[in-house]
């Protein structure tokens, strides 16, 4: 048996040498940029590597990961690199490679976003986050945004909930100083900021902290739940967000919209008034108060709000339309009473004439409002309404003018 030992040893050494030789050849080709040739060597030598020892297999897996990364097969590359964590053979190279991998994934995700491939971008950004969940938390936030842009709200909700669970706030600090020679403020890195404070030529050092993204995250969770019809979870989320920033206008409006979904118009009205206190020159808020008051039967109050919306924004077309509708709804009881009059007495005839006059007064009240709206947009509904009003009032010229616009 001893005669066979040296021969067996020689064969093992030769076999191992062959593995290392092919691997080195592939590594050199990869380093020169010939990724395809490196990949071809690994494929043709697959049987040779099957019996490789752990060190060779680790180096092989590392190269396969780099090749996959170069081919933008990021999922495969990530899987290869992850399997090597804690492996002493590549431990000195892996951290730097993972940093390069993250950068490559993020750059590819940015390119996808610019091309409108938001779903692919979201997937890549989430992968970059998983490389280092502490350092790369920002990528989870951007992954959620890309998922929203891709209209994949289920995935976006998953990402936003994960952001909420880790209490992500996305707060960043910017550093500024005045360059005394130029007399202008410049932005600095943190390192430059600390260094320049010890040198001459710079003054007025200041730091600027960005607002927390946490309320926005919780708000988006609420909006997605609301869109999915899960108003209970949506309400939980928005109340949690408002506890963080009670005066956030968007959160107030989000909660208000949820109450509309739930049919709680009184609570909606209270929140819109709260929003107006934050933004008193927002015509949309007054318009919404007009709508909800109209729905609740408060016609006079609704009219006041529509007029306030128009006062703030004289080009607010929807407010003009709703104001006309608000005025014309008062025609209904007039017409009902007119239809109930038999006209068999002088008193009834006089009452009928009075009602006609009252009805025409409503029409005349609508004329300037409709004319203003038509001057803004040539709204067909407004033109036809004004044409009918002119016809009823006997204004032939006005009727012809509106008829021409319709035709």
Question: pLDDT tens-digit profile of 70-85?
Answer: 999 999 999 999 999 9
Highest average pLDDT, of 56-70, 117-131, 242-256, comes from 117-131
* Domain architecture of the chain: domains with CATH: 15-159 (1.25.40), 173-209 (no CATH), 214-280 (1.25.40.10), 330-407 (no CATH)
pLDDT of 13 above 70: no
Distance of alpha carbon 145 from alpha carbon 51, whole angstroms: 46
Region of residue 151 (left: phi > 0; alpha: psi -120 to 50; beta: else): left
The distance from CA 224 to its chain's CA centroid, rounded to whole angstroms, is 10
pLDDT in tens, 37-46: 988 888 877 7
Q: Please give the Cα distance from 255 to 195 (Å, whole number).
A: 47
Residue 233: partners with Cβ closer than 8 Å, 6 or more residues away: 225
State pTM to two decimals: 0.65
Instruction: Report the range of poorest mean pLDDT among 35-44, 194-203, 264-273, 331-340.
Output: 35-44
The yes-or-no verdict on residue 203 having pLDDT over 60 is yes
* CB 39, CB 61: distance < 8 Å: no
Average pLDDT, whole number, for the chain?
Answer: 88
Per-residue pLDDT at 4 exceeds 60? no
Place of tokens 């950068």: 103
Note every long-range contact of 101-109, with CB atoms under 8 Å and residues 24 or more positions apart, other chains counting: 101/69, 101/74, 101/77, 101/131, 102/128, 102/131, 102/132, 102/136, 104/69, 104/72, 104/74, 105/74, 105/131, 106/139, 108/72, 108/74, 109/142, 109/146
Check whether 354 has a pLDDT greater than 80.
yes
What percent of the chain shows pLDDT beyond 90? Answer: 60
């Amino acid at each position: 048996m001893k005669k066979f030992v040296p021969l067996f040893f020689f064969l093992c050494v030769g076999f191992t040498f062959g593995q290392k030789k092919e691997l080195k050849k592939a590594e050199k080709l990869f380093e020169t940029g010939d990724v395809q040739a490196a990949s071809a060597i690994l494929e043709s030598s697959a049987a040779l590597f099957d019996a490789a020892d752990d060190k060779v297999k680790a180096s092989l897996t590392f190269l396969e990961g780099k090749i996959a990364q170069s081919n933008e097969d990021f999922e495969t590359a990530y899987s290869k690199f992850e399997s090597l964590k804690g492996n002493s053979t590549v431990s000195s190279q892996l951290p730097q490679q993972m940093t390069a991998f993250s950068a490559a994934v993020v750059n590819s995700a940015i390119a996808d976003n610019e091309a409108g491939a938001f779903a692919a971008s979201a997937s890549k950004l989430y992968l970059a986050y998983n490389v280092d969940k502490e350092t790369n938390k920002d990528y989870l936030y951007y992954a959620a945004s890309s998922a929203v842009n891709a209209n994949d709200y289920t995935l976006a909700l998953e990402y936003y909930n994960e952001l909420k669970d880790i209490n992500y706030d996305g707060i960043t600090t910017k550093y500024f100083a005045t360059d005394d020679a130029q007399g202008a403020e410049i932005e600095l890195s943190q390192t430059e900021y600390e260094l320049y404070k010890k040198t001459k030529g710079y003054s007025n050092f200041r730091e600027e902290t960005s607002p927390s993204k946490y309320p926005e995250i919780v708000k988006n969770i609420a909006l997605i739940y609301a869109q999915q019809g899960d108003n209970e979870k949506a309400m939980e989320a928005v109340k949690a967000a408002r506890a963080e920033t009670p005066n956030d206008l968007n959160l107030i409006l989000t909660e208000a919209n949820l109450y509309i979904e739930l049919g709680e118009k009184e609570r909606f009205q209270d929140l819109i008034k709260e929003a107006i206190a934050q933004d008193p020159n927002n015509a949309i808020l007054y318009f919404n108060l007009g709508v909800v008051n109209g729905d609740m039967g408060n016609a006079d109050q609704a009219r006041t709000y529509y007029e306030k919306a128009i006062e703030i924004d004289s080009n607010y077309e929807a407010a003009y339309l709703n104001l006309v509708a608000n005025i014309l709804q008062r025609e209904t009881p007039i017409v009902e009473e007119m239809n109930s009059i038999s006209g068999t007495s002088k008193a009834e005839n006089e009452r009928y004439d009075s009602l006609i006059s009252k009805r025409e007064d409503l029409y005349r009240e609508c004329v300037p409002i409709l004319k203003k709206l038509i001057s803004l947009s040539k709204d067909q509904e407004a033109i036809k309404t004004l044409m009918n009003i002119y016809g009823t009032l006997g204004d032939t010229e006005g009727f012809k003018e509106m008829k021409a616009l319709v035709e």
